[in-house]
Amino acid sequence: MKAKRFLFLRFTQAAFLGLVLFCLVPCAGGITPAQALVEQKPLAVSQKGATYVGTETCLSCHEDQGKTFKLSPHAKIAGKGSTDEANGCEICHGPGSIHAENGGGKGNAIINPKKDPTICFTCHMEKKMEFRLPNHHPVLEGKMSCTDCHNMHSEDAKPWSATSMEGPNEVCFKCHKDQQGPFVYEHPAMREGCTTCHKVHGSINAKMLLARDFNLCLKCHAQANFPTLVEDDDHTNNMKRSGACWTCHTKPHGSNFASKFTY
Ligand code: HEC
Ligand code: HEC
Ligand code: HEC
Ligand code: HEC
Ligand code: HEC
Ligand code: HEC
Ligand code: HEC
Ligand code: HEC
């Protein structure tokens, strides 16, 4: 029932997003989402009346951000090189003419999405919905930022890259030291990354888990060719009764005491 309702929600969200995009883009005369936001949302007073100046202008003062940004997925979207519309840096930072004319400066006529991710949601609206699910990282509450996990100016906006499997969990360990180990008995599932079991923006399940019951674990532990098939009848019956494997395997990340992660 819950799962069905969730699916239905996802469907209505998608439909809603489609509707918004459908209205926004043509009704506003082909403007980019970033511009649409600028027109909807009251801006910092100093940014009112600002126009787009283009990435090259930004780079004349912010060389650092430019070095890797050209490889970023965001460098490839929108933007036809025209200064009349948002592209490059200004899809996230808003129109920068006043900021540039004033010689820049902190808080000076430029959006910094670290403090407020609203601009990200103009394009990633479904992410906002995820952060509203009952269990979520407190981004909308202003206690953390998208950039705690995502690097906006680098080649990979995701917290890791295909070339470094080292990376996936590192970003989480900044704040979650208990899961880092090293453990005497390591659960190999950790090598697949935290997202094997957690939905990190938000989830309907406690602890942001992907599934609330034994299905979370059985996606690996029930595979026919899996090395540790759980065949013992008592064990299987216990599992079914208790619902979640971690009522007994209380250390699913790894343990220093028990090879079966029971304590
Ligand atoms: C996909 C969105 C996005 C794009 C595109 C983007 N930025 Fe940013 N930028 C951010 C976010 C989020 C922050 C705040 C967190 C941080 O410092 O990484 C930020 C911060 C900054 C800062 C402040 C850094 C600091 O240390 O306080 C500068 C300067 C900056 N960006 C310049 C640029 C330039 C120049 C470009 C284009 C080459 C660009 N940004 C493109 C999202 C973006
Ligand atoms: C004339 C030089 C100059 C130009 C051009 C310029 N900036 Fe800046 N910008 C600065 C300076 C100086 C700062 C303050 C840096 C600091 O305090 O660390 C700054 C700060 C910022 C910040 C951080 C603001 C904050 O409140 O944290 C962002 C984001 C930013 N610039 C983005 C841009 C973008 C995007 C462009 C192009 C539209 C751009 N800048 C063009 C000089 C410039
Ligand atoms: C103008 C629209 C737009 C804005 C604004 C925007 N994004 Fe994106 N973003 C995109 C698109 C389109 C993609 C998909 C790019 C692709 O798949 O090549 C993307 C991809 C991403 C990805 C996945 C990258 C990957 O490697 O798969 C992350 C993470 C992301 N954006 C985060 C953010 C954050 C955080 C912000 C705000 C600071 C933001 N975006 C602002 C349009 C936008
Ligand atoms: C706690 C860390 C964390 C925070 C905070 C976070 N993200 Fe993510 N994000 C991730 C991880 C991990 C993934 C990869 C998910 C996966 O592969 O299952 C991801 C994936 C994405 C993607 C790629 C599409 C997808 O779902 O795979 C986008 C877009 C994105 N995040 C946007 C955002 C935006 C926008 C914010 C802020 C409003 C944000 N994220 C905050 C960790 C985070
Ligand atoms: C900048 C710090 C920070 C980073 C980075 C971070 N988290 Fe978190 N995490 C938090 C905070 C804050 C909470 C909320 C704790 C609360 O509500 O009591 C949380 C909660 C959680 C929870 C739920 C805990 C509970 O008791 O309900 C899980 C699971 C989690 N994070 C996993 C991750 C994963 C996986 C990553 C990496 C993709 C990650 N976190 C990255 C700060 C962070
Ligand atoms: C094999 C699945 C699995 C993987 C992989 C996994 N977790 Fe968990 N995690 C769980 C389960 C199950 C719980 C709930 C435990 C409970 O409620 O007793 C949990 C709970 C948590 C909590 C809440 C505190 C706690 O220990 O109960 C945090 C924080 C957390 N995980 C972070 C992470 C981080 C960070 C990673 C990646 C380094 C990660 N998890 C990888 C299954 C996993
Ligand atoms: C990504 C796949 C994956 C997921 C998901 C997963 N595991 Fe595992 N698990 C493994 C692998 C691989 C091993 C090591 C098997 C071996 O050594 O033969 C293992 C080993 C174990 C062991 C120790 C077995 C032994 O004989 O030493 C226990 C207990 C265990 N997992 C419990 C769980 C629980 C509980 C969950 C759910 C919270 C879970 N696993 C989710 C892959 C996974
Ligand atoms: C009622 C408690 C309980 C529940 C629920 C439970 N287990 Fe176990 N499990 C145990 C105990 C006890 C052991 C044996 C521990 C030992 O030998 O130290 C064990 C052993 C294991 C082993 C190792 C098997 C082997 O052959 O060595 C795996 C794998 C495992 N459990 C996975 C799971 C999974 C997956 C779930 C959920 C589907 C689950 N368990 C639910 C108590 C439980």
Choose one of 208, 212, 216 to mutate for the ligand 5 pocket test, by most ligand atoms within 8 angstroms of C-beta: 208
Percent residues over pLDDT 70 in the chain: 67
Q: 191 versus 223: which is more confidently predicted?
A: 191
What does the domain layout of the chain look like in residue ranges? Answer: 14-125, 170-255
Percent residues over pLDDT 90 in the chain: 36
Burial of 220 per CB tally in 10 Å (0-12, 13-18, 19+): middle
Model pLDDT, residue 231:
58
Question: At 73, is the pLDDT very low, low, confident or very high (cuts 50, 70, 90)?
Answer: confident
Q: What pLDDT, in 10s, does the model give residues 132-162?
A: 999 999 999 999 999 888 888 887 666 554 4
How much is the mean pLDDT over the chain?
76
- Tell me how far apart the alpha carbons of residues 105 and 190 are, in angstroms, rounded to a whole number: 43
Choose one of 149, 165, 171, 179 to mutate for the ligand 6 pocket test, by most ligand atoms within 8 angstroms of C-beta: 179
Residue nearest to atom 3 of ligand 5 (CA): 175
Judge whether 59 and 51 are in contact, CB under 8 Å: no
**CB within 6 Å of ligand 2 — which residues?**
53, 57-58, 60-62, 89-90, 93, 96, 99-100, 103-107, 110, 112
Model pLDDT, residue 175:
92
